[in-house]
Amino acid sequence: MKQYTIIILLLAFALLNNCSDEKSTEPEKKAPQFPTPVTITAPQSANTPAKIDSAINSFNGFMNLAQTYLLTISQLQPSTAGNRYIWSLEFQATAIRIIAEPAANDNVKWQLYLTTPNEDGTPGQEHKVLEGNTNADGSKQTWYFYDEQTNQVASEMNIERSSDSVIITTKTSDSDLTQVITSNNDGTGKFQEYSGDKLLYEAIWNADGSGTYKQWNEIGGLIEEGSWQ
């Protein structure tokens, strides 16, 4: 999540320095609302396996930063180009463009671009760092994070929120690893880690924070199982 935090912090500084100076063309229609960040609950136990705490704390840290700075950008007025709403900002020679494009069924496509100067001070090339799709109420979100060097997707995050739970799925492109976190409103939850379609690790916890876990190798053999209180 480190790269995500850097993106959010850079965006934050730009927004805080442009709030009073932005002079974009006022769109005829109301711009799409930024998706509401969500947080998930970790098992309430000091004995929770470190793998689970690390994944949940990383996600919540990113979301807490995002919530702070999305509140700031929502105060800015975007310009329009066809069906797209564009927020254009600049901070310390770095140009930032955020694009929201409404789609069918009140879905929205989001894109974030950065243009940073070259080492010799000449203008650099714009590159995409983030792209995502959200539905009308934000209950389904898909985000793609791009590698600056290759311009290819480095990781993917899917968020599904219902009335009683939130499910977070993260995938990395440089490995076959997928993590799935299910956080229920009643305090229970589940953490799963896959290599491709093979389940390698699963932990299930109760509302009191206690839980059980199992770990398998890639051919399905049980390596370890245990519990915590």
pLDDT digits (tens, 9 = 90+) for 108-151: 999 999 898 888 888 788 999 999 999 988 899 999 999 988 98
130-154: b or e for each residue (b if 16 or more CB lie within 10 Å)?
bbbbbbeebbbbbbbbbeeeeeeeb
Q: Are strands 211-216 and 127-134 parallel, antiparallel or unpaired?
A: unpaired
pLDDT digits (tens, 9 = 90+) for 31-59: 898 887 788 989 999 999 999 999 999 99
> Which residue segments constitute the domains of the chain, with CATH numbers given?
2-17+44-228 (3.90.930)
pLDDT digits (tens, 9 = 90+) for 182-227: 999 999 999 999 999 999 999 999 999 999 999 999 999 999 999 9
Token pair recorded at residue 16: 């805080």
pLDDT digits (tens, 9 = 90+) for 76-85: 789 999 999 9
Report the SS3 class of residue 68: helix
